[in-house]
Amino acid sequence: MSKELMIERIEKAQKEIEAKREKIQQGKFRQNYHFMAETGWINDPNGLIYFKGKYHFFYQYNPYSGFWDCMHWGHAVSEDMIHWEYLPLALAPSEVYDDHLKGGCFSGSAIEHDGKLFLIYTGTCNNGNGFEQAQCIAYSEDGIHFEKYEGNPVITAPEGVPTDLFRDPKVWKHDDTYYVVCGASQNGFAQARLYKSTDMFHWEFVNVLAESRGEWGYMWECPDIFALDGHRILAVCPQGVPSEAEQYQNIYQSGYFIETEETRTVDASFKGTKETRTVDASFIEWDMGFDFYAPQTFETPAGRRILIGWAGVPDAEYSSNPTNEGWQHSLTVPRELRYHNGKIYQLPIRELGQLRKKEILPEKESYVLDNGCGELIFDGIAASSSAAICVQIGTGCSLSYEKGLVTLQFTDDSGAGRGKRVARCEAVHKIQILMDVSILEIYINDGEIVMTSRIFFPEKDATVRFLGQAEMIQAWQL
Ligand code: FRU
């Protein structure tokens, strides 16, 4: 255990950030209102929580280059989830269980316990016996400086679970007990494993909460459990699900199961009830775009359930140009969740409205977004299975709807290798588009379908044109 080593590693990373910050901020593809790391690489959002008056964001972070490597936890706080202040990194690799160039402090979550901010994360190392992942604790009095628990790791992979497939603890509290769900694999089938504790240090296995029988992959990353409007949701990121023409189009998936009486293996108090571990067939993908993965949800003090995803996918074949600028990726805007008609609708949080600077008026039926940054709403669209519509975005990107199929397609380099993604939809009446220099988030029918994609306009400004019938079109510069 070396408290000093973690402090040293954080200081080293901060110096690197300090040295590169200014240059990287000038990158052509830097976004304006999406959350990015100051320098280097970002992937999963971690530890989302409202603690002592502020929203805290932690994130998987390599401050040293625009590529995934040696995971640290970045940290930022906000009062409105829109404007962020970066804090010193929260975690850096420093211990025998998390100090590795191809490992580090992997994803996890946060909770308040004993007046302190607790993090539970996956320590990943390789000390000669292959990669080993185990769940670890760190805590902080001030919510800024963290200390790793000397008894780490607190949960290790049981017999039968490969040690390199056991990660991403998501914690919550129910009555007086803490619960954690972890992604795992057994006999080649993905699992969500449930643990409980009364003190955050000693954990007891409850049960395998849900398990793939092969149809939902060999591994679930970043599991999450929450209740939404009376329904209990299990969200997971399956790896190993074969792509289909209209579903599971990315290399790894991200979505949720809505639990039913038949599929639940723990009751409303999270007590194990039965051994049936199958999940039903209703896996619903969060986002049908090219760049979305590893989301995490949390609840605000007012009871809003917010989801934030990584606007990227691991091991994607297409490229994302900003690595040349010394940084890579961002998070999606925070989305508020709502259960409606058997699925979850996602909408950009209303706080984003404060970013609307000035309304953009059409010029020859086109909307020009300075610096590729703005918001567009097309409402009252007359689109059905027989009437087609199309939104042209920049030089080679289009969003169209025809015969029940929404298609997001790139035909030039603005897609940097991205081709086509589709989503089934009975009717399209509203489209909201958030553009931010090198990212596009598309919300259809108030969040019934969402598509997130990176985009790399060759020109500075972006021209958007709507072809079809809409009762109202609004556009703002953001
Ligand atoms: C998901 C993921 C997690 C892991 C982390 C490592 O993108 O692979 O399973 O904890 O990223 O950075």
The set of residues, in sequence order, having a beta carbon less than 8 Å from that of 360 and lying 6+ positions away, is 367, 368, 369, 374, 475, 476, 477
Determine if ligand 1 sits within 6 Å of the CB of residue 400: no
Give me the residue label for tokens 């909770």: 111
Task: State the distance from the centre of ligand 1 to the C-alpha of 60, rounded, in angstroms.
Answer: 8
Task: State the distance from the centre of ligand 1 to the C-alpha of 44, rounded, in angstroms.
Answer: 7
Q: Are strands 293-299 and 255-258 parallel, antiparallel or unpaired?
A: unpaired
Task: For ligand 1, atom 9, name the residue with the nearest CA.
Answer: 221
What amino acid is encoded at 202 in this protein?
H
Distance CA(74)–CA(248), nearest Å, equals 30
Distance CA(389)–CA(382), nearest Å, equals 8
Q: Are strands 255-258 and 231-239 parallel, antiparallel or unpaired?
A: antiparallel
441 pLDDT higher than 80: yes
Residue pair 226/297 in contact by the 8 Å Cβ criterion = yes
- Give pLDDT, residue 275: 67
384 pLDDT higher than 60: no
Determine if ligand 1 sits within 6 Å of the CB of residue 98: no
Q: Which atom of ligand 1 is nearest to the CA of 122?
A: 10
The Cβ-side half-sphere exposure at 304, using a 13 Å CA radius, reads: 17
Average pLDDT for residues 365-379, to the nearest whole number? 95
Distance CA(184)–CA(103), nearest Å, equals 17
Determine if ligand 1 sits within 6 Å of the CB of residue 122: yes
The set of residues, in sequence order, having a beta carbon less than 8 Å from that of 195 and lying 6+ positions away, is 155, 179, 180, 181, 182, 203, 204, 205, 206
- Least Cα distance to 71 among 43, 103, 45 occurs for 103
Average pLDDT for residues 62-78, to the nearest whole number? 97
Give me the residue label for tokens 């992979």: 157
- Least Cα distance to 343 among 444, 242, 267 occurs for 444
Average pLDDT, rounded, for the chain: 94
- Place 282 in a pLDDT band, splitting at 50, 70 and 90: confident
Compute the radius of gyration of the chain from its Cα atoms: 22
Residue pair 217/240 in contact by the 8 Å Cβ criterion = yes
Catalytic (active site) residue 44: yes
- Place 303 in a pLDDT band, splitting at 50, 70 and 90: very high
Determine if ligand 1 sits within 6 Å of the CB of residue 167: yes
Average pLDDT for residues 264-285, to the nearest whole number? 76
Residue pair 224/235 in contact by the 8 Å Cβ criterion = yes
Distance CA(112)–CA(301), nearest Å, equals 13
- Least Cα distance to 467 among 408, 385, 422, 400 occurs for 400
pLDDT, tens digit, for every residue of 321-347? Answer: 789 899 999 999 999 999 999 999 999
